[in-house]
Structure formats: C-alpha cells, structure tokens
Structure 1
C-alpha cells in the first residue's frame, strides 16, 4: 500500500537546551538539533522510520526551503515539491533544564499564492495510492477549504483521507468532504463543537461526528491520558503507557504516522489506533524535535492491552 503525506506549511525545527530561561540576558544554549518538521513532514518521517516509503508533498521556498529539501533527501521519501516565493519558516523549541519546561516558538510561515495551492491540489489529484494524510496548519493565502478540496480529490481516486489540523480549519472540512479518520486533540474537538468537554462529553462529541457522517472514525488524543476512538460500533479508549517524558513535540504526528503505517500493513483500525497510541508515548521519550523510534513503538505496543468498543450511550 502507498501513502501521500501533505505538509503545506512545513518547518525547519530547531531545538536546544538552556540552564534557565531569563528575560533580556543572553542565554547560551547547547545540544542544538535541526530537523525537517511540520505536521505532514513528521508523519512521513514516522512512516519512514517504521519501514515505509511515503510520498511527501511540501510547499517550500528560500534558503530555508533548500535546507528543508536537503534534510528530506536523506530519507526514504518520494518528494513532491511546490516551489513558493516566500521562505520556509523556522520553529524554535528550548528546553529549560532547571524546570523541565519547554518553550516553543512557531512562526505562522510564508504567504502562498492560489497558483501554489492549485499546483499542490494537482499533485493530490494525480496520486493513485491508498491513503492521503493532511497534517498541520494552512499557510497564509490558502483558502480555508483547501483540505476539503484535497479530501474530495483523494476520495475520487479511492484513497482514504486522514486529517490532523487546527480546530478552526476542521470546521471547514468536516461535513464538507469525505474523511476516513480525523484526529483532533481535546482542545481542537472543543473548538469544533464550541464547548468544554468532560469525559462523557468527549465520547459523545466524537460519536456525533461519526453519526453525522463527518468522518468514518474520530481519534481524539489526550496526551498522558491516552486516546479515544469513535466509530460506528461505539467508542474505544486506550490508555497511554507512562514513560519518562523528554519532550511533547511530535507526539500527535507520531500517532498519525504510526496509525496510518499500521493500516498499510493490513491491520484493523482498532489495532492501528492502539499502535498509534504507543507511537505517541514513544515520541514523548525522545528529546527535542526527535520523533518516535521503531523499537520503542513496538515494545510499548506489545505491552498495552487491547480494548473493546463501548456501545453508544454506555459508559467507557
């Protein structure tokens, strides 16, 4: 099976450490790392780490765009590039040693033209694979229904569309295009439904999206609390294995990439969901902008118990 990952607003992720974050004073950082990043890029990196060879669509430009391409060329990824006039953004993450806190600085990124988006959409229309995964924010200049257009193009080719994007953008896609699986965080789901959600409300809101045919499956990630999957048979809850957390960066992307890769191996959605939860925990074990490692994912997956669906209306 094949997959196309989409990163319309990729980044060069720079992470480092500092003893203490202080205003005004010059702080000397160390252990600097640079990685190709952004939602769809991270999804492709995870699939490659697990043994796949994904296609990857990126919009990139400027000197930083060239750096991004160089970083991706060393990976087993089939790259589809749409050149843009602006420069690819650089995101910064600083880990404060004294407190263990992370500080993340993520620019909005360059503005793109409608011609750039049309070129990207054409690549999606020409992709004849099994899965299309759109992950991350939309760049400035892209219309809010861009992902909806891509979901429609994927569906016309018989590909299953997986979506992971900020809450406000979800509103422009759910209910407007066929989606196989959507992965909001708790906060993104609350933005989508317009209210705060407790444990019961979380399952009800996710199930409502399935019942309304907004998506075949809704996977809600909850950090250390694991994740919840809503499907036509009810809801499924899997707890996350408690690990020593090094960084929260990339846990959601690791979840999506691992879930998709497991589906590509012919596994069920339920097994792939549990595998994704394991990948999210494995990503938390790595420092900076590193993602999950294959051996860690399989070790955690084998150590987690399978869960059963709870029928709609019953307590999980």
Structure 2
C-alpha cells in the first residue's frame, strides 16, 4: 500500500496547556482549565499538512492512559494514523502562560524508553506504506537515537523515500550519514554538524553548502527564528524574511514550518515557494496561543502577502 507522505514521531507527547496569574515560589498557583493537544514533531507536521488540505499518515508509539488520550486527540484532528502499543507510558508536557506578564513556561518531560522490538514494529508498519516522503521529526529516545536512521536506511534499501528530518543533537548527524534528503537545522545545530562552536550569519551559506557536499544531502533549510529562513541546494539559494506578526506562542512554529514545506514539496512547487510556505505556516503558528499550530487562512494570507 503506497502513501505519498508518512510522518514518524518516535517520542510523542500530550501537551497540557493552561494559564495562571502571578508566579510566586511556594505559593499555590491557581490555573485555568487545561487544554490538551496532541504533540510531537511528526504528529504536528501531519496536523499542519492536513490544515493545508493535504493528506499524510502519522505513525507513533503510544502507551498507557496518556497514549490512549493521545490517539483520541489525533483522531479529533482528522489525521490518519497508525500506532504501536508500548510498555512505557506516553509522556506529557506542560505549558503555562502567566497572564500578568504573558511569559510562557514550557516544561518538557523526558522521553520514555522505547524497546528495540517496538521500534522494529513501527518501522515495519512505515515500510508497508511505501511512502514517497518520510518525515522524521521531533526528539528521539536516547537509547535508540544512534540506530534509528540506520535502521530506516536498511529497511528501505535502494527504494528509500525522500527522508525529511527535523531533530537535533547527534541524531541529526546520523540522519545525514544515512542519506537524509532535507534537514532543517538552526544556527547552533548547523555549527555543531561542522564541529564549530558557532557560525555568523555571513557564514550560513558556506556552512550549508559544506553539509550538502559532505553528506550528499539535497536540501538544507536553515531556520533563523524571527529573522526568517534560508534554503540551499546545489545550485539554488533562497531567503525569506519572517513577516511581522503579533506573537502569542512559539510552540509548534518549527513543526508548522516543516509541515508547510513538506506539503509544498508534495505539490511539486518551486523551492522558492516551498520556503515561502514554510515561513508562512511557521509565522502563522506564532499568532495562536498554546500549541494550536496555525489557522489555514492566516498562513494563506501571509503567503499571499509575498513574504
């Protein structure tokens, strides 16, 4: 069975969002009724693609009562999905906004351990879908981060899909070594890939081109936060400045950007438009509170404003 786009979230989460007023140590903090969202890089990418009118299948492990809640939340987003039941419970993240200052506090819980057998089961399900594009996004369990991309490469062999990766740390290097098609590092991650402490803005292009040459990666997109993003391949360079919007939350902005780019790639749009859609969706996500990602009309408006 063939699916054009598959997303893989190895370390999903249920995001619990709330508001409070005034953060005082050792005082009981009264919070508003929480809002729950399905979280994790690949799940958010699938949600973003769905909002743009595209279709993907999200694969993720789920365990315990929190895992059951996660599946219900993904279902409510009308996203197609397949899961593998795990022994360890799915994690929860906690995001709280102080309404007095609009300061946002984000508490990320450690990843539960995924067994090798559970990993192999979910990768077998992904392989069965024979995707054209495979998005691996989000953090990875520490016990498996060094082998996940190797196993993906081995399982698909010569029929490997276009693998789009948005992760960090050593896992990003492993992904490149195993033939990633597109990566989306920020400045710090780009520097680390080249063994540098930091790189200046003027060095981004040469650094990205060095990654493309060294690892034979097709596309490198460098996320520059409020400054926008740059896209590089062997013969093209594109820059899109981030539009000026009223920011309410940055949670999910990076995933929204990846979702916008993947959707645009699936539509065979020029790379300049791929980047524009990515920046439009990422910026639109910051216009909403909590982890709501973006509204389609906001993303379309930003894209059409010729950002």
Distance in structure 2 (CA, Å) of the matches to 1:155 and 1:219 = 25
Which sits farther off after the overlay, 247-256 or 149-158? 149-158
SS of corresponding position for 2:34: strand
Q: Is the 8 A contact 2:186 2:224 kept in 1?
A: yes
Distance in structure 1 (CA, Å) of the matches to 2:237 and 2:199 = 16
Shift of 1:126: 1.8
Q: Is the 8 A contact 2:238 2:275 kept in 1?
A: no
Shift of 1:65: 0.3
1:139 aligns with 2:110: no
TM-score by length of 1: 0.91
Classify 1:143/1:225 alpha carbon distance in 2 versus 1 (closer, same or farther; 3 Å): closer
Give per-residue Cα distances to partners, 1:264-297, cap 9 Å, x unaligned. Answer: 1221222111110111100000100110111111
Q: Is the 8 A contact 2:280 2:300 kept in 1?
A: yes
Q: Is the 8 A contact 1:124 1:153 kept in 2?
A: no
Distance in structure 1 (CA, Å) of the matches to 2:258 and 2:157 = 19
Matches within 5 A, 1:1-316: 2-30=4-32, 32-151=34-153, 153-154=155-156, 156-174=158-176, 176-194=177-195, 195-305=197-307
Shift of 1:153: 4.1
SS of corresponding position for 1:112: coil
Residue ranges of structure 1 left out of the alignment (5+ in a row): 306-316
User: Over the residues paired in the alignment, what is the CA RMSD in angstroms?
Assistant: 1.6
Distance in structure 2 (CA, Å) of the matches to 1:251 and 1:152 = 32
Distance in structure 1 (CA, Å) of the matches to 2:162 and 2:73 = 28
Distance in structure 2 (CA, Å) of the matches to 1:52 and 1:99 = 37
Residue ranges of structure 2 left out of the alignment (5+ in a row): none
Q: Is the 8 A contact 1:12 1:34 kept in 2?
A: yes
Distance in structure 1 (CA, Å) of the matches to 2:286 and 2:119 = 33
Q: Is the 8 A contact 1:132 1:154 kept in 2?
A: no
SS of corresponding position for 1:67: helix
Q: Is the 8 A contact 1:134 1:147 kept in 2?
A: no
Distance in structure 2 (CA, Å) of the matches to 1:111 and 1:28 = 33
Q: Is the 8 A contact 2:111 2:140 kept in 1?
A: no
SS of corresponding position for 2:215: coil
TM-score by length of 2: 0.94
